[in-house]
Amino acid sequence: MENNALIFGYNDYTFEIEKNISSHYQNIHIFKLGENDDNSFDLGDNWDDLSSRFNISDCVAFCILEDMAENIFLTISLRDAFKDLVIVALAQDKESTDKLTLAGATRVIPTTQTTANVIVEMLEKPIVTEVFHDILYEKSALQIAQIKIEDHTVFDGKYPADIEWSSKHGIIVLSVVYEDMSREFIYSSKAKHHLIKSGDIFVVVGYEQDIKEFKKLIGSESE
């Protein structure tokens, strides 16, 4: 377990991230931009106070400022000060994802303002906590796969959001791709009211053997 998680930013994502990483860190510290107290920061390049308070080698930094220009600058500043710090940064689109990667982020979490509530809802699901952490740290055993449903009858007329995917199948379904190639997050209102049918494509996260068993169950040979 890492000693400290340092969350830079105070917004809709802050407490969901805090809640969902709490079991993986001994201490979580939230820093607000521009506040005048011990847990505040600015976008300057002086991080002496941070290095004096924490053993940086035991820290992971989360850069989640909603202003992408500020978030990119924050990432650059932290990377310049701490060459070996693990930095997880929040991105709004592909352009900011690319910029944050170039700025020195170890991992980038892509999202958009329009899907913020969906992502929060996904993070509130208990099993997603484990998957979120594993993806974050790139555990090689976890895989992401796209699987086409060939036999929908095994789901007995249930909706995707009503199935305990982890306990029953050892996987997490992240999104559904329909016949018209539109895509919905699994916990969106549309997906919640869409009965599973043959031809649907699930985007799933899981371990290799569990994914193979799931493919056998629904008669899929898709990769």
> Which residue ranges make up each domain of the chain?
2-112, 142-217
Write out the chain's pLDDT in tens, 223 residues: 458 999 999 987 888 788 778 878 889 999 998 867 778 888 776 799 899 999 998 999 999 998 989 999 999 999 999 998 999 998 887 788 889 999 999 888 876 433 444 444 444 454 455 555 555 555 446 677 888 888 888 888 888 777 877 778 888 787 788 877 777 777 666 777 788 888 888 888 778 888 888 888 887 754 4
CATH fold of 142-217 reads Alpha-Beta Plaits (3.30.70)
- Terminal CA-to-CA distance of the chain, rounded, Å? 34
Q: What is the pLDDT of residue 54?
A: 92
Question: What is the spatial order of strands in the sheet that 59-63 belongs to?
Answer: 40-41, 25-33, 2-8, 59-63, 86-91, 107-110
Provide the pLDDT for residue 35. Answer: 66
CA distance 79 to 62: 12
Q: How far is 17 from 7, CA to CA, in rounded Å?
A: 9
Please determine, looking at this structure, whether the domain spanning 2-112 carries the CATH number 3.30.70.370.
no
Position 135 scores a pLDDT of 55
CB-based burial, 84-99: b 16+ in 10 Å, e otherwise: ebbbbbbbbeeebbeb
Supply the pLDDT for residue 71.
92
Contacts of 216 (CB under 8 A, 6+ apart): none
List C-alpha distances in Å: 10 to 51, 121, 123, 189: 21, 18, 17, 27
CB 51 within 8 A of CB 62: no
pLDDT in the model for residue 190 = 72
- pLDDT at position 114 is 32
CB 118 within 8 A of CB 185: yes
Q: Residue 116 has what DSSP assignment? A: H
Chain length of the chain: 223
